[in-house]
Amino acid sequence: MKNPHEPATVTAERERTPGGQYITEILLETFRLNGRLLEVGDRMTKDLGLSSARWQVLSVADREPATVAEIARRMGLRRQSVQRTVNSLHKDGFVVLRTNPNHRRAMLIEVTPAGSDALRRTFQRQIAWADDIAAGIDDADLDRTLKVMAAMRARLEQSGR
């Protein structure tokens, strides 16, 4: 069995550097992890009328009212998918749309009391879940992982890639 810390062998037109190979492996593992996180998030929030996508949008708008474009930028999502999610949240009474004094056409998304309650209950569940997942992982490893992921995101944002 392959050591998970060794770069995978990939056939390509040119060889990757060891760092490039690690980035590739991190990318693939991130895709797998994201799939699992979305699945767990959907299960965790289903009875509250939420999903992972709805939870993401609510958590941004809960900090302060924001436009669809602002939410999409903050979360690294497509504006169209955020708009669909906002429409669904609005239909179900989790958000209201307010006039934006800074932009006539871009409404501000504001969380309703029902949305705040669902979000509060979600975070209560998420606390126990996160503590359980973290229990078997060293805090220093988690801290380093977070710093590396943030650095990778910053490099991507700076390079425009």
User: What's the structural domain count of the chain?
Assistant: 1
State both tokens at 83: 């708009």
Spatial distance between the Cα atoms of 80 and 63, rounded to a whole number of angstroms = 21
- Quick one: pLDDT at residue 159? 82
Do the domain assignments include residue 38? Answer: yes
In a domain, 155, yes or no: no
Domain containing residue 28: CATH number: 1.10.10.10
- Burial environment of residue 19 by CB neighbours within 10 A (0 to 12, 13 to 18, 19 or more): exposed
Q: Examine residue 113 and state whether it is found in any structural domain, yes or no.
A: yes
pTM of the model as a whole: 0.79
Position 67 in a domain: yes
Task: Tell me the chain's radius of gyration from C-alpha atoms.
Answer: 19
User: What is the percent of the chain where pLDDT is above 70?
Assistant: 91
Express each pLDDT in 37-85 by its tens digit: 999 999 999 999 999 999 999 999 999 999 999 999 999 899 999 999 9
- What residues make up the domain containing 112? 18-130
Whether 63 is covered by a domain: the verdict is: yes
